[in-house]
Amino acid sequence: MNAEFFSSKIIDWYLDHQRDLPWRRTRDPYKIWLSEIILQQTRVVQGLPYYLAFVSAYPTIDSLAKAPEQKILRLWQGLGYYSRARNLHKCAREISKKFNGAFPKSFNELVRLPGIGPYTAAAIASIAFKENVAVVDGNVFRVMARVFGVDKDIASDEGKKYFFSLANQLIDKNQPDIFNQAVMEFGALHCLPQNPKCAECIFAKHCEANKKNLQDVLPVKSKKVKIKNRYFNYFIIRSKNKLLMRQRNGKDIWKGLYDFYLVETTRSRKVETLILEDEFLNGSTIINESKSFTHLLSHQKLKVKFIKVEKSLTKKEELVIKNQNLQWFSPTQISKLPKPILVDRFLREDR
Ligand code: SF4
């Protein structure tokens, strides 16, 4: 199948089937960038309300650049992969400061900005500025691998290079913006990971995977991610109407978000033992203990428990609190803090 046939077929399909999404009605690189960052690792239905909330709270890149990080994290709450939100902010500040609030227009400049990888740079450059550069995301890998029968590993550098070059040979040079969106949309709506709609497909006769029955085999992805198990024992300590919470820092998940006093273990342990072994908790009385909740992240499996304890603090312990980044917060203050979604859920259900 030649490039012209592929691109004209897929563009025709797109014009008939595309979803009406707000970021498709604009050429504003700020809004296209926002949508691309929000939609990484996120389905459109889940990401759409976040996109609308961000555009309404921060209509321009300068307004986003000036916002406090805490407000951005709070608005991001529930989307996960919080480093994306921090990079979003960093990138907005850089564009605001170095580029006077105007997005750089080329792929090569965009890819140097924080949080913008080749995929996002290609999306902005092609959709907002019509640069001839192909976007290659999971959907594109799947469509290309199946239609052209490519069995190269999409997790390998060689595979990535191959697909990037193939997509750039196929791109419609007059409308790279439409072409890129067409391939992604075709992967998202038609050539699905499971049960692709081959019987009613525009490529049914030409598609290598369909001809050879390889839909379940292509694309090839070799890397198996090792999942790490972590046990989070959250201790809920109350004084009058305030709760003890801590802002997470360091190179770990949920940086900048607030949770509770945490004792992390590598296996399930009895709460009584944890209290005995922990200098700060020693002497606390257990009020109640939740069941264990499982929370899945991309490379981690968290087993989370919430344990309410009664504890009166000595002066020395008040000092420990300060040193450990712990602080007392009222319910109103807590409602404004950015929190991991399972902490937020616990607080709502505990009211
Ligand atoms: S025939 Fe099936 S596998 Fe091939 S492109 Fe169409 S939907 Fe995808």
What is the DSSP code (8-state) at residue 342?
Answer: H
Task: Pick from 147, 151, 192, 212 the residue to mutate for probing ligand 1's pocket: most ligand atoms within 8 Å of its CB.
Answer: 147
Residue 268, judged by CB atoms within 10 A of its CB (0-12, 13-18, 19+), counts as exposed
Structure-token pair, residue 56:
């309404």
What pLDDT digit, counting tens, does each position of 173-201 carry? 999 999 999 999 999 999 999 999 999 99
CA distance 304 to 213: 43
* Secondary-structure percent of the chain, ordered helix, strand, coil, rounded to 5: 50, 15, 35
Residue with tokens 């709450």: 77
Check residue 224 and give its pLDDT: 67
Q: Over the stretch 86-137, which tens digit does the pLDDT of each residue have?
A: 999 999 999 999 999 999 999 999 999 999 999 999 999 999 999 999 999 9
Identify the CATH assignment for 3-212 out of 3.90.950.20, 1.10.645.10, 1.10.340.30, 3.40.50.620: 1.10.340.30
- 195 CA to middle of ligand 1, Å? 10
- The structure tokens 């002497």 sit at 283
In angstroms, the first-to-last Cα distance of the chain is: 61
Sheet strands (E) in 45-142 = none
Nearest residue to 120 (alpha-carbon basis) of 107, 131, 101: 107
Q: What topology does CATH give the domain 228-350?
A: Nucleoside Triphosphate Pyrophosphohydrolase (3.90.79)
| Mean pLDDT for all residues in the chain | 94
**In the predicted structure, residue 311 carries a pLDDT above the cut 70:** yes
Residue 204 CA to ligand 1 centre (angstroms): 6
Ligand 1 centre to CA of 207 (Å) is 6
Q: Name the residue of 203, 208, 216 whose CB sits within 8 Å of the most ligand 1 atoms, as the mutation to test its pocket.
A: 203
Which of 14, 191, 195, 197 most suits a substitution to test ligand 1, by most atoms within 8 Å of the C-beta? Answer: 191
Looking at the CA of residue 197, tell me the nearest atom of ligand 1. 7
Count of C-beta atoms within a 10 Å radius of residue 105: 14
Tally the residues of the chain.
351
> What is the C-alpha separation between 273 and 293, in angstroms, rounded?
20
* pLDDT at site 174: 96
Task: Say how many Å lie between the CA of residue 45 and the centre of ligand 1.
Answer: 24
Candidates 248, 245, 251, 258; CA nearest to 342 is 258
Return residue ranges of the chain for CATH 3.90.79.10: 228-350
**Which protein residues touch ligand 1 with a CB less than 6 Å away?**
146-147, 190-191, 196-198, 201, 203-204, 207, 209-210, 215
pLDDT of residue 240: 86
CA atoms within 13 A of residue 270's CA, in its CB half-sphere: 4
Highest mean pLDDT among 200-214, 225-239, 299-313: 200-214
CA–chain centroid gap for 236, Å, is 28
1 or 91, higher pLDDT: 91
d(CA 171, CA 179): 6
pLDDT of the residue at 259: 96
pLDDT band at 346 (very low <50, low <70, confident <90, very high): very high
Residue spans in the chain of domains classed CATH 1.10.340.30: 3-212
Of 8-22, 70-84, 238-252, 314-328, the poorest mean pLDDT is in 314-328
Number of other residues whose CB lies within 10 A of the CB of residue 102:
11
Question: Catalytic residue positions?
Answer: 36
Distance CA 57, CA 46 (A): 18
How many degrees, rounded to 5, is the angle at CA 276 between CA 285 and CA 240?
30
For the CA of 142, the closest atom of ligand 1 is: 8
Q: What percent of the chain has pLDDT over 90?
A: 86
Q: Does residue 318 have a pLDDT over 90? A: no
pLDDT score for 17: 97
Answer whether residue 148 shows pLDDT above 70: yes
Residue (of 135, 123, 139, 121) closest to 166 by Cα position: 135
The residue-averaged pLDDT of 231-247 equals: 93
For ligand 1, atom 2, the nearest C-alpha belongs to 198
3-state secondary structure of 114: coil
- The whole-number average pLDDT for the span 38-57 is 94
